[in-house]
A and B are shown apart, each in its own frame.
Chain A
């Protein structure tokens, strides 16, 4: 089931086109990657979803119904440029944001205690924000984003500023939220975390959608005719008319080859050829990293 949908969204600032006929379909309980180079229009799209600005044309749907101003309570947004009132106390501030999202004071208090304990920041409740480290502030902000249990969560670069340990903690919280029914739109330049977390992605460049689909499909599609072949010891193979060797290396007495096949060859035929050279321990389609795909797609357009 589709939780959020944007249809043919266009937005123009003066003479500059920020979004050109962009559509987006986010399935329920999915982690959806919103990718693109700087200035592609991601932030504009996110702001439109948050109803911070309105589109010039196009329609937005949440739960199959047109997006309404009151729907802001169903959305949680962690912007890339985050900020808190520096002079305000942490607890007071978290309460303030929760109330702005429509929670009653008592309810907000209860949930805040739960989350502050869970993320181990309860000791900071009475401190002023300016006394907190950046990572701490990020945690506070994360809590305020998810506190009202929104159906749709939008994280813009949620891991910047965190050490690896806190990155892991927050990552696990995001997965936990998804399990509990939340749908997540995740915008980042960190492609490793895209591979790790995202089910689907949309890649935007220069105001247009240029790539979309499930991460797995996209990687398979771009992998097309490349395979990783591993022998259990040091061997040597050479390319022929059916495949070429892109690269080879030795690893712990194993030999690893990256083969590129011609499109019409059956992989069994290749295996039959190469198995004569030694003992094969693995043969896998080589999936390009999202990083590679990102760079290749964008470079191809320029």
Chain B
């Protein structure tokens, strides 16, 4: 037991001290955060600048005042100005662009132009389109001469947003979001796949290194082969867990920073945010007032999302993740160790890798499908079969899985990882001392049955 801890320590320390480990550990969460933040920042920057837009109609004032000012853009109605004249000078006059509305617009949907030097933001365009659309619809309705039209419009206005509540076992309702569950399922399944694969392959490479450098014979004259194998597997598992823990801490840190710094500012992109509000409200209503609201809709949306995310059973998720990572990793790592012991160099591993990779990939694919229907029989069975369970079960958990299923799956995992380790140890013990021989599955099967 003492010796195995010496081995675990070496495997752990040599890996954790590597530059590549340190870089990966720090960089991965930063990269992940960057992937999320950079597009957001780009979007915010686009609409961040205040724009003055000149609105010109051809000898009419059908749409005068229809497009309300927002925090980011001011719409200035110019009478008696020719588009042709303004075209030459609008930049000097301090306008972002010219919106030209033809009276034909009521019958011709594309009789409106936005002339600008730059490609306008999509949010700005949608805002203009929606404002005009509402107005045209209103005017068309007016033609029917309905009494109290404005009141009716106000009355008719509706908005539907399905709120999901998940009833947990104790009967407590919690606000949930299918979107969050899906994102989480995807993340967990994929993370599990990556970790099992990356660290399993590290075990294999470590075994091959020991075999080709011939260190192994000296070591197994001091310790039993299974001690060396398990020492390596456990050492690398600890490396994986260390990395995982650091990632969690860093991610929580980054999310925390995000919540305090980015969120208040996110009210800045007013045009795109007030757009959905505008859709709901009649044009007479306060398109412009949303900027004065205490909490912009997006912030509210985000806060709701955040609360929903917090309502996920995080304790269960983390416990299950660690359990499935450890057992799933042990299961695959022992297979990888057996393969590593059977070959003379890394290129020879390919013939063995395929049958090992298939269940992992299958697990990942089922996990992705799980998001459509987490209760399907395929998802159920794949979360029981030990080779796919770690990935599929992790993808199912955010949608809620009965406890008995988790328990059964865990028991199957424990039993099968035990037998996998036992078989791998037998192959490993023989394979590690075999050189210069092309190994086949048949050969490995024979090694399984060798005595001591």
Contacts and interface: CB of A to CB of B under 8 A. Distances in A.
Interface string A47-85: 100111110100000000000010010010101011111
B215 A83 contact: yes
A88 B14 contact: yes
Contacts, number: 66
Given A14-B446, A79-B214, A83-B215, A99 B6 contact: yes
B215 A84 contact: yes
A77 B218 CA distance: 7
Interface in B282-306: none
Interface stretch (B175-183, B220-228, B392-400): B220-228
A97 B222 contact: yes
B254 interface: no
Given A47-B433, A53-B452, A56-B451, A77 B221 contact: yes
A261 interface: no
A86 B3 CA distance: 21
Interface residues of A, number: 30
Contacts of A141: 218
B10 interface: yes
Given A50-B221, A52-B433, A100 B7 contact: yes
A74 B306 CA distance: 63
B379 to A, nearest CB: 44
A96 B6 contact: yes
A107 to B, nearest CB: 14
B307 interface: no
Contacts of A87: 14
Interface SS of B by simple majority: helix
A101 interface: yes
A41 to B, nearest CB: 14
Contacts of A53: 433, 452
Contacts of A52: 217, 220-221, 225, 433
B213 A86 contact: yes
Interface in B260-289: none
Interface SS of A by simple majority: loop
A102 interface: yes
A85 B2 CA distance: 21
Interface string A85-113: 11110000000110111100000000000
A83 B213 contact: yes
Interface of B: 2-3, 6-7, 10, 14, 209-210, 213-225, 433, 446, 450-452
Interface of A: 13-14, 47, 50-54, 56, 69, 72, 75, 77, 79, 81-88, 96-97, 99-102, 141, 144
14 contacts: A53-B452, A56-B451, A75-B221, A77-B221, A81-B217, A83-B215, A85-B209, A85-B213, A86-B213, A96-B10, A99-B6, A100-B6, A100-B7, A101-B222
Given A69-B224, A100-B219, 14 more contacts: A52-B220, A52-B225, A53-B452, A77-B217, A79-B217, A79-B221, A84-B215, A85-B209, A85-B210, A87-B14, A96-B6, A97-B219, A97-B222, A99-B6
